[in-house]
Structure 1
Amino acid sequence: MLNIEKDFEEIKIAMKIDHEDDDGGVKRAFISAVATVKGAIGRDKSAFYDQDTDIVELINTAVIMMANHYYDAASATIESSTANGTLREYDLGYTSIISLLKAEYKVFKEGETNGG
């Protein structure tokens, strides 16, 4: 999984941020996104986030999507007005990735080799 200290420039590139004016804001958004993704998937199996599989790329994608949204909009939702008021929804791309990762997390066995 991406690491804020080791992979900071890669994270900024993925978020399409080419300045250093708000590196603190980028770091806050990324750290918050990691917490959000881990909270949505689960925290009990720490090795799940460090596997050497394509699952880690899905995790990274979800984190980048959420971090980018936190950074740009300071919110994890999309707002739209309806006749009944304002509706707040999670982005479909993020939600579908999290759903897939939750299923993978559920069957993941801590301590087993998961290369791939």
Structure 2
Amino acid sequence: MILDPKTDLEKIKNALKIDTDDDDLEVMRSAIAAIAYVKGAIGTDKPSFYMQENDTVELINLAILQLADHYYKARSATIESSTANGTLREYDLGFTSLILQLKASYLLFEEVPADGN
């Protein structure tokens, strides 16, 4: 099952290397936003995809943690740096690769009806 910011806050803080409780609300907001982004990027019409207990969920959680870490530290979805030609925006290609891999897994995943039939 994917991370839940309310029940897994300490796990999330540990992954983000946050030792204090001062920013718990901001960490939780970052994680909630990351989960929404990841689900939106992968797909939302197969809820049981996110409830699996396998390596796919570990990849989902890794993507969530990467993005939550970025949201928490940068307070933005991009990293900006000034160059002679203007502003350069860089996106984390590792995160993009994870999303693309998970999107493929999601498309192949078959939703099981609630009644099991």
TM-score, length-normalised on structure 2? 0.89
State the alpha-carbon separation in 1 of the partners of residues 40 and 83 from structure 2.
Answer: 30
State whether residues 42 and 106 of structure 2, in contact with CA within 8 Å, keep that contact through their aligned partners in structure 1.
yes
Which amino acid counterpart does residue 12 of structure 1 have in structure 2? Answer: K
Deviation at 1:83, TM superposition (A): 5.1
Which amino acid counterpart does residue 41 of structure 1 have in structure 2? Answer: I
**Identity across the alignment (%):** 61
TM-score, length-normalised on structure 1? 0.89
State the alpha-carbon separation in 1 of the partners of residues 91 and 51 from structure 2.
Answer: 26
State the alpha-carbon separation in 2 of the partners of residues 86 and 39 from structure 1.
Answer: 28
What is the number of residues matched between the two proteins?
A: 112
Deviation at 1:9, TM superposition (A): 0.6
Deviation at 1:85, TM superposition (A): 2.5
State the alpha-carbon separation in 1 of the partners of residues 46 and 75 from structure 2.
Answer: 29
Which amino acid counterpart does residue 91 of structure 1 have in structure 2? Answer: D
Q: Give 1:100-115 correspondences, 5 Å limit.
A: 100-111=101-112
Deviation at 1:89, TM superposition (A): 2.9
State the alpha-carbon separation in 2 of the partners of residues 101 and 83 from structure 1.
Answer: 37
Question: Counterpart of 1:72?
Answer: 73
> Which consecutive unaligned segments of at least 5 residues does structure 2 have?
none
Q: Give 1:1-116 correspondences, 5 Å limit.
A: 1-82=2-83, 84-111=85-112
Q: What are the superposed Cα offsets for residues 22-48 of structure 1, whole Å, 9 maximum, x if unpaired?
A: 110000000000011111111111111
CA RMSD of aligned residues (A): 1.4
> Which consecutive unaligned segments of at least 5 residues does structure 1 have?
none
State the alpha-carbon separation in 2 of the partners of residues 86 and 101 from structure 1.
Answer: 31
User: Which consecutive aligned stretches of 4+ in structure 1 deviate over 6 angstroms post-superposition?
Assistant: none
